[in-house]
Amino acid sequence: MRELLNQIENQLNTKFPGDLLFTELSYDFPVITVKSTAAHKILQFLKEDESFNFHFLTDLTGLQTEDGQNLGVIYHVHNLPKNRRLRVRTFFSIQKPEIETVTDLWLGANWMERETYDFFGVKFLGHPNLVRILNVDEMDIFPLRKEYPLEDQERQDKSDKQFGR
């Protein structure tokens, strides 16, 4: 996997100078972090370049950094014939949670981007139908952001002792 990661790093640094921010092997899984403004063109290159051929989008999801100041999107892409996988991460400010859609590259990204919008509030620019998919339309929050507690703070029927606190 290190060889694949080195090849990706060399190609991206040549073709998109300054847009590749970080590379690592996480439990033998190649991971790259790219600028959010370059994510679409890098994903398109990784999909269309014959030496990489990451033509299948396995998964797409959102995340929020520990400090709560940034949101991000993680893409998992797969080269099926060579059974190679890659994780592509990108981050942007929570104040302007926008990134270009990849539905033009993978039609299957449609529902994944809608889910990420629904739970994290990431706006996928150019998405054909970016509306809530699981939560009610009237909901005005994004429930997986860190500013929303995981449990009801008003509950009277529980004891902290039961939860190891």
Residue 118: its pLDDT value, please?
96
Structural domain harbouring 140? 2-148
Q: How many domains, in total, are found in the chain?
A: 1
Residue 23: its pLDDT value, please?
96
Whether 144 is in a domain gets the answer yes
Tens digit of each residue's pLDDT, the chain (165 residues): 789 999 999 999 999 999 999 999 999 899 999 999 999 999 999 999 999 999 999 999 999 999 999 999 999 999 999 999 999 999 999 999 999 999 999 999 999 999 999 999 999 999 999 999 999 989 888 989 888 766 666 777 766 666 666
Kindly give, in sequence order, each residue whose CB lies less than 8 Å from that of residue 25, ignoring residues fewer than 6 positions away: 1, 2, 5, 31
Token pair listed for 141: 């929050």
Whether 142 is in a domain gets the answer yes
Residue 34: its pLDDT value, please?
98
Q: What are phi and psi of 145, to 5 degrees?
A: -75, 150
> CATH no. for residue 74?
3.30.460.80
| Closest of 82, 86, 3, 79 to residue 39, by C-alpha | 86
Residue type, 119: F
Whether 97 is in a domain gets the answer yes
Whether 26 is in a domain gets the answer yes
Whether 84 is in a domain gets the answer yes
Residue 160: its pLDDT value, please?
67
Whether 34 is in a domain gets the answer yes
**Do residues 124 and 100 touch, judged by C-beta distance below 8 A?**
yes
Helix intervals (H) in the chain: 2-15, 39-48, 109-120
| Closest of 22, 27, 30 to residue 1, by C-alpha | 30
**Whole-angstrom distance, CA of residue 16 vs CA of residue 19:** 6
Residue 85: its pLDDT value, please?
96
**Whole-angstrom distance, CA of residue 133 vs CA of residue 145:** 17
Whether 61 is in a domain gets the answer yes
**Do residues 58 and 102 touch, judged by C-beta distance below 8 A?**
no
Whether 154 is in a domain gets the answer no
Residue 162: its pLDDT value, please?
65
